[in-house]
Amino acid sequence: MDSLSYLNKYFLRYKKKLALGVLFILISNIAQVFIPIFLREGIDGIQQEVQYDKLFEYGLLIFVAAIIAGVFRFLIRQTIIVVSREIEYDLRQDFWAHIQKLSHRYFQNNSTGNIMAHATNDISAVRMYVGPAVMYSIDTVSKFIIIIAIMITISPLLTFYTLIPLPFLSYFVYQLSKKIHKKFTLIQESFSDLTTRAQENFAGIRVIKSYVREDGEIKNFTEQSEDYLNKTMDKVKIQALFQPILYTIAGLSVIIVVWAGGGMVIENLLTLGDISAFVIFLGMLIWPMIAFGWILNIIQQASASMKRLIKILHEELEIQDSKATRTIINSIKGRIEFKNVSFRYKNDLPDILDNISFSIEPGETIAIIGKTGSGKTTLLNLIPRLFDATNGDVLIDGYKIKEIPLKILRQNVGLVPQETFLFSDTLKNNILYGTKNGNDELVNHVAKISQLDKDVEGFPKGYETMLGERGITLSGGQKQRSCLARALAIDPKILILDDSFSSVDTNTEEEILKQLKEYMKDRTSIIVSHRISTVKDADKILVLHNGRIQEQGNHDELVSLGGIYADLHFKQLLEEELKELS
């Protein structure tokens, strides 16, 4: 339950509204208690002397009490439940803000489904505690105290009899709702599997169709749907028990009141009005007793959910500004130096980068070439600090990279990742994603450099074309060039292209490189590619092999060296010639 104390700071934020809510609960409950009291007076009055105006008077009093109770019930929801929604909102914002700051590594180690479950189910569970559980706890306790106090003044013995079955009510509700919740969790998991499966199916529909796997997918879906159905049925069966048990126990209490109380009336110990009031009091106590069992469950679930949320909220931000950060740095020029840099993804994994040293001056273009898996992407990730080096130093403008404010660093690094990603928004908004006040002029400018402009001329809606799920989907090469345009739009001092032309034909690529050369005159560029044609004009080429720089120099130097690069060069030349022949 400790985890729930984390929420106190949120409660404090709304303490005035909450205090009002508590006051409203008390007013509503007191008004409600007057209903049976007036009824009792009325019934006893009728027995003595029948007077219409007296009857009307009691009727009116009951009506007024009911109206007051009702109005304040409404106000309770307007305060406590509204606060719970506000706290849910605050918590979700804090959670989201924290999630955004978590490192790249966190997202590699935790599945999207998992994080989504925390963001939705866990926050909802906590909301149930903040709202209904708090409201019903105060309601139950205050109602209980007021009603029992009045019942005792009428007859302590009958109060005792009446209360006997009620703890059983709470117990059964507690047990049943616990079981129902367990089943519900299983149902949710099953449903999430079902939707994940469906989603994956739609995303991979081309693969399914081309491998003729439709029947297999239908069978899989049927199995998963059956699982979902069976789990739902399990829950329904337990739920079906709920009401019969409640009514039986509640009914038992009424029998006891009427039986034991009836005897007392016969012996003139109580009046008929007393018994009637007791039956109504009992009715008023039943809901709080049910709520009690239910609240216990909500608190347990909320506590478990809060524990999971706290774990994420306390997750250390692996990469962030620290004491070493020099806040006076507000721009960068683009000199990059790697000094004996080694990197491994985890302590128990081998080094992916091994003692890497090189430097790039502003305005220079460096190219990295190497077999797949040689560590190129890993090396690039160290520049915008998606990861930090395990050993050695990465320096920017002569400063250790940790000394540069993270925001300044990332605002100046235009990264075009190997795997393209665009948001389901317009092409224009995607291109301007990293900018604060981008305009059409900027879009046109960067699209021209990226050779995207001619493609867009063919789109009926031009840059306003919606991308993503429902809009037209771009070709692989168009996506890559859109990502390049997005990186250029932030006016980066350092441009990183991770195999960004793999889906672009060599002629277009050559044109882009030509345009980039002009644009990148005073900026630093790093180009990763598998193609010699892409890298050959770079000021310096690094050949990465098993995480080490095996060769470095310009094109001519590397060709005459006769190593890995020269080998690749001749192979690719041969391929070109063969292509031309065929």
Which residues in this chain contact ligand ATP in the complex, by CB under 6 A? 108, 345, 349, 352, 370, 372-378, 418, 499
Strands (E), 1-117: none
| Per-residue contact string for residues 414-443; x = within reach of Mg ion by CB under 5 A | ----x-------------------------
* Closest distance to ligand ATP from the beta carbon of 499 (Å): 6
Q: From the list ligand ATP, Mg ion, none, which binds 420 (C-beta under 5 to 8 Å, kind-based)? A: none
Q: Which is nearer to Mg ion, 125 or 549 (CB)?
A: 549
Extended strands (E) in 344-458: 353-360, 365-370, 391-396, 399-400, 413-416
Residues in contact with Mg ion, shown as a per-residue x/- string from 211 to 240 under the rule CB under 5 A: ------------------------------
Exposure pattern of 249-270 as b/e (b: 16+ CB <10 Å)?
A: bbeebbebbeebbeebeeeeeb
138, 81 in Cβ contact below 8 A? no
Contact stretch for Mg ion (CB under 5 A) within 35-43, 124-132, 372-380, 568-576 = 372-380
Q: Which is nearer to ligand ATP, 305 or 420 (CB)?
A: 420
Which is nearer to Mg ion, 127 or 376 (by Cβ)?
376
Of 319 and 427, nearer to ligand ATP (C-beta) is 319
372 contact choice in ligand ATP, Mg ion, none (CB below 5 to 8 Å, kind-dependent): ligand ATP
With H, G, I as helix, E, B as strand and everything else as coil, classify residue 396. Answer: strand
Between 352 and 401, CB nearer to ligand ATP? 352
Q: Rounded to whole angstroms, how far apart are CA atoms 417 and 448?
A: 20
In the complex with Mg ion, the residue whose CB is nearer, 104 or 333, is 104
Q: Is the dihedral of CA 193, 195, 201, 204 positive or negative?
A: negative
Q: Minimum CB separation from ligand ATP for residue 557, in Å?
A: 22
Q: How far is the CB of 144 from ligand ATP (least distance, A)?
A: 56
> Distance between CA atoms of 566 and 122, rounded to whole angstroms?
57
Question: DSSP state, 472?
Answer: P
Partner whose binding site includes residue 374, from ligand ATP, Mg ion, none (CB under 5 to 8 Å by kind): ligand ATP
Q: Is 550 exposed, middle or buried (0-12, 13-18, 19+ CB in 10 A)?
A: middle
**Residue 408 binds: one of Mg ion, ligand ATP, none (C-beta under 5 to 8 A by kind):** none
Classify strands 524-528 and 365-370 as parallel, antiparallel or unpaired: parallel
Contact criterion met (CB below 8 Å) for 187 and 232: yes
Q: What is the largest CA-CA distance in the chain?
A: 122
| CB atoms inside a 10 Å sphere around CB 349 | 8
Instruction: Residue 352: name its binding partner from Mg ion, ligand ATP, none (Cβ under 5 to 8 Å by kind).
Output: ligand ATP
Which residue's CB is nearer to ligand ATP, number 144 or number 501?
501
One-letter amino acid for residue 303 of the chain: S
Which of ligand ATP, Mg ion, none is residue 375 near (CB under 5 to 8 Å by kind)?
ligand ATP
* Pure H helices in 123-213: 123-128, 134-154, 156-163, 166-203, 205-210
Cβ 499 to Mg ion shortest distance, Å: 6
Cβ distance to ligand ATP smaller for residue 296 or 380: 380
Minimum CB distance to ligand ATP, residue 370 (Å): 6
284 binds, among Mg ion, ligand ATP, none (CB under 5 to 8 A by kind): none
Q: Which one of Mg ion, ligand ATP, none interacts with residue 6, CB within 5 to 8 A by kind?
A: none
Q: Give residue 187's region: left, alpha or beta (phi > 0; psi -120 to 50).
A: alpha
Closest CB 376 distance from Mg ion, rounded Å: 5
Question: Hey, is 81 helix, strand or coil?
Answer: helix
Nearer to ligand ATP among residue 376 and residue 486 (C-beta): 376
Interface size with Mg ion, residues (CB under 5 A): 3
Instruction: For ligand ATP, give the closer residue by CB, 130 or 504.
Output: 504
Question: Dihedrals φ, ψ of 367, to 5°?
Answer: -120, 145
Task: Using alpha carbons, list the distances in angstroms from residue 151 to 65, 129, 203, 259, 447.
Answer: 18, 30, 65, 17, 80
Q: Indicate which of ligand ATP, Mg ion, none lies near residue 345 (CB less than 5 to 8 Å, by partner kind).
A: ligand ATP
Show the binding pattern over residues 379-418: x = contacts Mg ion (CB under 5 A), - = does not.
---------------------------------------x
Please say whether the beta carbons of 66 and 36 come within 8 A.
no
What distances in angstroms separate CA 530 from CA 77, 355, 371, 487, 551, one per listed residue?
64, 22, 8, 21, 15
The distance of closest approach from Cβ of residue 211 to ligand ATP in the complex, given in angstroms and rounded to an integer, is: 24
Q: Which residue is nearest to Mg ion (CB)?
A: 377
Q: Are strands 494-498 and 540-545 parallel, antiparallel or unpaired?
A: unpaired
Residue closer to ligand ATP (CB basis): 289 or 543: 543
CB of 378 to Mg ion, least distance (A): 8
Shortest distance (Å) from residue 217 CB to ligand ATP:
30
**6 or 345, CB closer to ligand ATP?**
345
Q: Which residues does residue 342 pair with via DSSP β-bridges, in sequence order? A: 391
On the 0-12 / 13-18 / 19+ scale of CB atoms within 10 A, 419 is exposed
Q: Which of ligand ATP, Mg ion, none sits in contact with 410, Cβ below 5 to 8 A by type?
A: none
373 binds, among ligand ATP, Mg ion, none (CB under 5 to 8 A by kind): ligand ATP
Which of 224, 253, 374, 377 contacts Mg ion by CB under 5 A? 377
Picked from Mg ion, ligand ATP, none, the partner binding residue 171 (CB below 5 to 8 A depending on kind) is none
* Spatial separation of the C-alpha atoms in residues 496 and 366, rounded to whole Å: 10
DSSP class per residue in 333-373: ---EEEEEEEE-SSTTS--SEEEEEEEE-TT-EEEEEE-TT
Confirm if 307 and 3 have CB atoms less than 8 A apart: yes
Specify the residue, 102 or 431, whose C-beta has the smaller distance to ligand ATP. 102
Residue 40, binding choice from ligand ATP, Mg ion, none, Cβ under 5 to 8 Å by partner class: none
Phi-psi region of 451 (alpha: psi -120 to 50; beta: other; left: phi over 0): left
Would you tell me which residues interact with Mg ion (CB under 5 A)?
376-377, 418
